[in-house]
Amino acid sequence: MMRRVVGVLGLALLGGTLALSQSGPVGTLGVAVTFTSAPPSLTSEVALGLSFGRAEVLSRTQLSLTGLVAQHLVVGIGLDGIGLKTGMRFNPCFSQYWFEVRGGCCPLELGGLFLVENLAPACQTPNYTIGIVLDLGVAWRPGFFARSLTGFGVTNLYGLIDPDPATWLVAVPGVWFEEELLHLGFTSTCFRADALVLFDPWGLAWFELGASYLYPNPEAELGARIRILGTFALDWAKLFLGVRVPPVAVRLVTEFDLGGFVAQEVWVEVFFSWVRIYSRTRFDFGGFLQATVGVEVKF
């Protein structure tokens, strides 16, 4: 249920997810517009998803006032116990290709990701590099779970856990060890607690602790997260509250640091029939920072 209250709004923010259907083709079409106050900018995204049984195709097109920013194309298929997924990115010339395989037998889960990326500026002389991620985990649902992600030639492994499709791996030159991300936790029908620990070549980069209470009717989640840097200084702390009373869902996220209040986020979603309308607004004591509004239609 936590994924529904918390994750759905985050994924819907940039076009939503594509649910696989076993009975026939299913599609989603989403449009989102984001305005940022400093520096002033206006960007948009168009997402189109189609599923055919166990196969899915997702296209995300990012636009700005100057034209095309990036085009993402993802194709995936689910086999018995194994999931295959591949993707490409253009910005507007070819800039990235990746292939991922993940599967296993409960409770063991294994996976790997191979990435090729062009580090050169858009449409300039190519400068290719490769990256590899090794993925190992165990999970009992509900119950204990543990996951280890090891990156060679890539950073920002957190982008593979974050449900926001806008966050992703960052390629760097070479294929040496870059990051190790450990994710441990426990889930039940009314409680979730987890810890994230990130190591880089210089040692501990940061660790994060979180816990939330889940209420079934109406669907609600109340929780907190805190991130501590490798120097054991506070990076940030967040309090969040999510409530879903159909056809409306609301999520509030309040962020703090050692200096006090940092920012407030308000996520709102209204869904009816095959249409979802959503917004995300971020502001601080100085005023408005960023706002995203969008609509998604399923067909």
Digit-coded pLDDT (tens) for 19-42? 333 457 899 999 999 999 988 999
Q: How far is it, in rounded angstroms, from Cα 198 to Cα 208?
A: 9
Per-residue pLDDT, averaged over 69-95, amounts to 94
Q: Is the dihedral of CA 102, 104, 18, 84 positive or negative?
A: positive
Q: How many residues does the chain have?
A: 299
Mean pLDDT of the chain: 90
Per-residue pLDDT, averaged over 128-135, amounts to 97
Looking at residue 11, what is its pLDDT?
35
Alpha carbon separation from 77 to 27, 82, 103, 257, 277 (Å, rounded): 15, 9, 12, 42, 28
Per-residue pLDDT, averaged over 239-255, amounts to 96
Q: Is the pLDDT of residue 16 over 80?
A: no
Per-residue pLDDT, averaged over 136-143, amounts to 92
Tell which residue, 33, 32, 29, 85, has the closest CA to residue 54: 85
Q: Do 180 and 149 meet the contact criterion of CB atoms below 8 Å apart?
A: yes
What are the residue ranges of helices labelled H in the chain?
A: 2, 8-12
Digit-coded pLDDT (tens) for 103-118? 988 889 999 999 999 9
At residue 126's C-alpha, the angle toward residues 122 and 131, to 5°, is: 100
Q: How confident is the model at residue 166 (pLDDT cuts 50, 70, 90)?
A: confident
Looking at residue 217, what is its pLDDT?
84
Q: Which pTM value belongs to this model?
A: 0.86
Looking at residue 160, what is its pLDDT?
93
Q: How far is it, in rounded angstroms, from Cα 45 to Cα 282?
A: 18
Digit-coded pLDDT (tens) for 271-298? 988 999 999 999 999 999 999 999 999 9
Token code pair at residue 111: 């996976």
Per-residue pLDDT, averaged over 64-91, amounts to 93
Q: How confident is the model at residue 18 (pLDDT cuts 50, 70, 90)?
A: very low
Q: Do 155 and 169 meet the contact criterion of CB atoms below 8 Å apart?
A: yes
Q: How confident is the model at residue 1 (pLDDT cuts 50, 70, 90)?
A: very low
Q: How confident is the model at residue 74 (pLDDT cuts 50, 70, 90)?
A: very high
User: Strand 203-215 to strand 219-229: parallel, antiparallel, or no bridges (unpaired)?
Assistant: antiparallel
Looking at residue 23, what is its pLDDT?
56
